[in-house]
Amino acid sequence: MHKILFISFIFFAAPVANAQSTASTLQRPKLVVGIVVDQMRWDYLYRYYNRYTEDGGFKRLLGQGFSCENTMIRYTPTVTACGHASIYTGSVPAIDGITGNDWWDYDVNNVVYCTEDANAETVGSNSTLGNMSPKNLLVTTIGDELRLATNFKSKVIGVAIKDRSAILPAGHSANAAYWYDNKSGSWITSSYYMKDLPKWVKDFNGKKLEDGYYAQDWNTLYPLNTYEESSNDEEPYESKPFGAGVKGFPYSLKQFAGKNYSAITVTPYGNSFTFDMAKAALTNEQLGADSVTDLLTVSLSSPDYIGHTFGPNSVEAEDGFLRLDKDLGAFLNFLDEKVGKGEYLVFLTADHGAANVPGFLTEHKIPAGNIDEVKIGDDLNKALKEKFNTDSLVLDMINYQVYLNRDAIKNGGLNKDSVNKTVIDYLVKQPGVSRAFALDALNETVLNATVKEALVNSYYPARSGDIQIVYEPQWIINFLNGGTTHGVWNAYDAHIPLLWYGWHINQGSSNREVGITDIAPTIAAMLHIQMPSGSVGHVINEAKK
C-alpha cells in the first residue's frame, strides 16, 4: 500500500516540479532597442496621426503597444545630452553630471563639451570628431547594468549621427558606439572603444550611401498642397541650409554628392541613413541572436536639425515625420525578421521637444520673442567693468545661466553678493526675462514648484553657473534670423512621447504623469537587473504585463 502511494506521489509531483522548474527560469527578451527621436514633441504623435500609414511605425506602436501620454522632463536644460543621459540612467543632471551639451567647468576653468576626451582619438577618419568618450557621465547606464548582470556577455552598441547621442546612451562599458563624421562622410568611433573599425563598418562606409540619398533630392512625399498641418512652404522665419537662394521644395541635393557630407543631416534621409547603420550593426554583431539579452540604442538626430532650421510648423518638419513613420515601420519589420516577433522589447521616446518659432507665434498674436544672449553677455561685462573696474567678470552664458569669474571676484576682493545683484538687476530689466537669481539662493527663491523642481534637479555646482535666468514662455535665446530651439521647463520642450512595444508589453495607454527618468528603472525591472547607480525614477507598472 505504501509503495502504491509513493508511486502515486511521484506520478503527480513530477509535472508540478517540472512546472516550477520552468517558471523559475529567468525570462528576458533577446534584444532591447531604445529609439530616441531627437526633438520630437509629444503632440507630433497626433498632429500627423491621420497621415501616418497603417504599415508605418507610429500607428503600430500606438495600436499594439503602450503609450505613456503624459511623460515629462523635470529638469533643465532640456537639450540633447541631458535627455539621452537621463533616458538611459534614470537620473538628472544634478546627479549624473551632464548639465548641458556644454558647460563652463570650474574644475578645469574652461568650456567643456559633454563627451569630449583629450585622451581618446578618432577611429575611422582623420578628423578630431572622434576624440570622445563617456568619461563626463558620472553614473552607470542601463546598458552598463545589463553588462554587469550578465558578466559582460550582453552586447551593447549605440548608433546616432550625433556623437553624444551614441555615446551617452551606450554607457561606459559598451562594446561600441558609432557616430557620423560629417567631414569625411564616414561612421566613426573612438579609441575608448577599439583600435580599429570592424570590417563591416569599413564596408558600410565604402558604400557611400549618402550619395545615393542625395541622388533622390528632397521633395515632399505627397503633393505639397496636402500639407495642411503646416504653414506655407516659404516663410521668412525659416533658415536656409541648402543655400541663400533656395526658398523651398523641391530641394536639389545632387550637388552635394561627394562634396558636402553634412547636408544629409538636415533631411529625412538622415533618419534612413541611421537606420541603415543600426541594421548593419544588428546583423554583423549578431545582436539578439542568442539567449543573452543585448541592447541597441538608436538616436535619430535629423528631426532636431530640421526642427532647429525650419521650425515645428514647417512643411519640412511634417514631411520629415511622415517619412520617419515609414522608416520606423520598416525597422520594426526588420526586427521581426532578424530577432523574431515578441522576442524583442522596444521603447521610443524623445530627448526634448521644441518651441514654436517666435515669428510664427507673433504672426498669430501669441506673445513670443528672441533674446540676443551674446549681446546680453557683452553688455553685462561692460556694466560690471564700469562698476567694479574688472574685465571679463562674465565668463560665459550657457544653459540659461551666467557663469561668473569666481577667481577674479575672489582675487580682486570684490563682494560676490554685490556682483550678483548687479547682474540680476540688469537681467530682470531685459525683455523676455521672467526671473533672475543666484543659484546658491535657489532654496530661498520664491518660484512655482514645478519650475523650482526642474532647477534643483539640474544644479551640479562645479558645472553650473552662478545666476539662473528664467525666461517668459515662448521666448527663446538666439536664432535671430530664423528657426527655433529648446531647453526650458515649459511643456513645449518638456512633454515628450514614450511608447513601449513588444516583449511583455501591455496594449493600451495611460495619462498618469511619468518622467523621462522612469524609463531606465522600468527596463531594469523587466529584465530583473539592478537599476543604474544614479537612478531617481520609478517603474511604470502599467506598461508591462
Name the residues annotated as catalytic. 80
Instruction: Quote the cell numbers at residue 1.
Output: 500500500
* Matching residue, cell 554587469: 148
Can you tell me the distance from the alpha carbon of 35 to that of 47, in angstroms, rounded to the nearest whole number? Answer: 20
- Non-local (6+) Cβ contacts of 268 within 8 A are 218, 302, 306, 319, 320, 323, 324, 327
Q: C-alpha distances in angstroms, 90 versus 302, 454, 495? A: 24, 15, 17
* Matching residue, cell 565668463: 395
Torsion angles phi and psi, residue 222, rounded to 5: -125, 170
Buried b (16+ CB within 10 A) or exposed e, 43-79: ebbebbeebbeeebbbbbbbeebbbbbebbbbbbbbb
Query: Angle 491-495-498 (CA atoms, 0-180°, nearest 5)?
Result: 175
Can you tell me the distance from the alpha carbon of 64 to that of 451, in angstroms, rounded to the nearest whole number? Answer: 35
Q: Say if CB 493 and CB 78 are below 8 A apart.
A: yes
Can you tell me the distance from the alpha carbon of 263 to that of 222, in angstroms, rounded to the nearest whole number? Answer: 22
Q: Say if CB 177 and CB 166 are below 8 A apart.
A: yes
- Non-local (6+) Cβ contacts of 48 within 8 A are 229, 318, 321, 322, 325
Q: How far is CA 438 from the centre of its chain?
A: 28
Torsion angles phi and psi, residue 306, rounded to 5: -65, -45
- Non-local (6+) Cβ contacts of 182 within 8 A are 129, 261, 262, 265
At 471, which helix (H) or strand (E)?
A: strand 467-471
Tell me which residue of 518, 516, 454 sits closest to 488, measured CA to CA: 454
* Matching residue, cell 579609441: 191
